[in-house]
Amino acid sequence: MSYAYALLLVVLTAAAALLAWQQHRLRELRARIESSAVELQRLQQSCALLAPAGVVERLFSDGPESIAEHKVFTAMFTDLVGYTALAERLDPKTLAGVLNGYFQLVSDSVEEHRGRVGTFLGDGILIFFGALDPNPWQCDDAVQAALAIRDALERYNAELERAALPRIAIGVGIHRGPGLAGLIGSRDRREYTVVGPTLNLAARVQALTREHGHDILLTESVRAQLDPRFELMPMPAVAVKGIGEPVVTYAVLGGREERARMTPLRVHVRQKDEGQVPSAQCGERQR
């Protein structure tokens, strides 16, 4: 009988030891999982600086090749007017400061309106709306962002004037169309971007801002999707390199809020006086 008790004691002790060991192992595994989760979160946060969070998640789960798809998106191209003259007038350190201020104000305005800065190309900036996630309001967002850039630039120029520095001006071109969105680049270095003719046309439209004398121009494909309360003015069609048909653009005069305050009569008179289009067409144009 005593053997049986002894055996039971041994079995119970062994079970207790096994239980204790299992508990210890469980705690260890939990700590490891928690530390891995923290590490993963930190890694994702770091990666989010380089690409949108959704892209990073897909990169982790499906690999880099999975991130490529055709999308209809809105491209915005902004460029400094008279950069060469500015560069000749300012010393490098001051020039870098002025440029950084411009890049920052554009980035802030764009992010506030759900856009994404794609690439800095010298003094130009390529921006996308609706390239990552579906965005049915992408054209309104792009034009709102352009107007926000215009306002922020006005404030920035006041700062520059106070610092006895020259004012800067920019041109903005907006176009909507299809493109390939994905992680593009070499095996060693890739970036999330969009490629396709939509970007080229946005850049060409931006260049037309000098010709037409308006800082924000958009194409017909954007206008067709745009809130009719934005105040637009049609520009004459112009032949553009690489595009078969002459390109019709619209200058953005004011935002939705300004338009809402403006009486229809004033809009009518203003457009008619400037000889852009007959009043009947204005009504149709503004829907």
Partner 1 sequence: MHLFRPLFARSVRGWRKRGQPVSFARQPQGPFAGLLLQFEGSPIGPVLASALDDLWGSPILSRRSKALMFAVIGHGLGSQGSRDEVARVLEAEGLAPADAEQILTHLGGPGLNADEGALLAFARDTIWYEPIQIQRRARELRERLSAAQFVEALGVVALANSLCRLCAALPRRS
Helix, coil or strand: residue 276 = coil
Contact characters 40-59, partner 1, x per CB under 8 A: -------------xx-----
Distance CA 153, CA 42 (A): 35
- CB closer to partner 1, 136 vs 275: 136
- CB closer to partner 1, 57 vs 151: 57
Q: Which of 44, 47, 137, 221 binds partner 1 (CB under 8 A)?
A: 137
Distance CA 7, CA 160 (A): 89
Q: Are strands 231-234 and 249-254 parallel, antiparallel or unpaired?
A: antiparallel
**Is 263 near partner 1 (CB under 8 A)?**
no
**Is 256 near partner 1 (CB under 8 A)?**
yes
- CB closer to partner 1, 24 vs 167: 24
Which two structure tokens, joined as six digits, stand for 133? 């996630």
Q: Which of 229, 268, 270, 285 binds partner 1 (CB under 8 A)?
A: 229
Distance CA 214, CA 48 (A): 35
Distance CA 67, CA 183 (A): 6
Q: Which of 28, 34, 133, 284 binds partner 1 (CB under 8 A)?
A: 133
**Is 136 near partner 1 (CB under 8 A)?**
yes
Q: Which of 79, 140, 215, 231 binds partner 1 (CB under 8 A)?
A: 140
Count interface residues toward partner 1 (CB under 8 A). 16
Nearest approach in angstroms of CB 137 to partner 1 is 6
3-state percent breakdown (helix, strand, coil) of the chain, nearest 5: 55, 25, 25
Q: Which regions of the chain does DSSP assign to beta strands (E)?
A: 68-81, 115-121, 124-129, 169-185, 190-195, 216-219, 231-234, 249-254
- Contacts with partner 1 by CB under 8 A lie at 19, 22, 26, 53-54, 114, 133-137, 140, 227, 229, 256, 260
